[in-house]
Amino acid sequence: MNILVFGQTGQAARELAVYDGVTCLNRAAADLEDPGACAAVIATRRPDAVINAAAYTAVDKAEEDEARASVINGDAPGAMARACAELGIPFVTISTDYVFSGEGDQPWQVDDPTGPLGVYGRSKLKGEQLVQAAGGAYAILRTSWVVSAHGHNFVKTMLRLGAERDALTIVADQIGGPTPARDIAAACIEMARQLATDPSKAGIYHFAGTPNVSWADFARETFAIAGITCTVTDIPSSDYPTPAKRPLNSRLDCATLEAVFGIKRPNWQAGLRDIVKEVLG
């Protein structure tokens, strides 16, 4: 299966690149700030499926850059989805738990009302809506707390800071499921393959690591695996203000993905061990 991937340097894109038949496009080949050009690439290359693993992910910066975030996270995937619909091929795009308000303590269902807290979440929700409106065989994969040995993410930051300091204060009231990018890539590939033979599986799905955990406890587990002695003190989000408000509840109910595609939630602890090993060499 010939799969065209938008994105090359992001966490999920780097994991997708290892699959046979996958071609990853960098910004020079497909600039998401030019949605029409992205659609043209699909029409020209005519792949068997398309996965969008590129996005504007600078959550805080987006608060002052809404127009650009809206194009990259909204208009671009919408254009890709329309191009795929015209060719009759599957389109899979990665979304986020940030489309929700983060209220409560129950896992978010795929059909729960959305309510983004900031620009990033709004831009991703716009993308979801445009992909749905395109009318093709699509899969929107909402995920959370993406981690890998590549790029900028919480695990790499903790490994660096933990080696430099004896103690850290980390928020403990944000709860979610850390998700290894390697597992996200595998899920996207499998969904694209199944959609190619059964377009009726189109829809929105959730995918996040298990068990749910706080950022503080996730840091503790990272240090334990890495053999780093660094004391973690729990703090509320209010003690660590950021330009963009983070959702407190990032729990995702992933039952629909398993029921329809047979894809189970990954154990993030197993993935974390692999990531730490790769980062530390």
Q: Which residues are catalytic?
A: 120
C-alpha distances in Å from residue 16, one per residue of 21, 50, 160, 182, 215: 10, 12, 26, 8, 26
Taking alpha carbons only, the member of 28, 191, 44, 57 closest to residue 127 is 57
28 class by beta-carbon count within 10 Å (0-12 exposed, 13-18 middle, 19+ buried): exposed
CA distance 249 to 208: 13
Reply yes or no: is the peptide bond before residue 211 cis, omega within 30 of 0: yes
CA max distance for the chain:
56
CA distance 93 to 4: 12
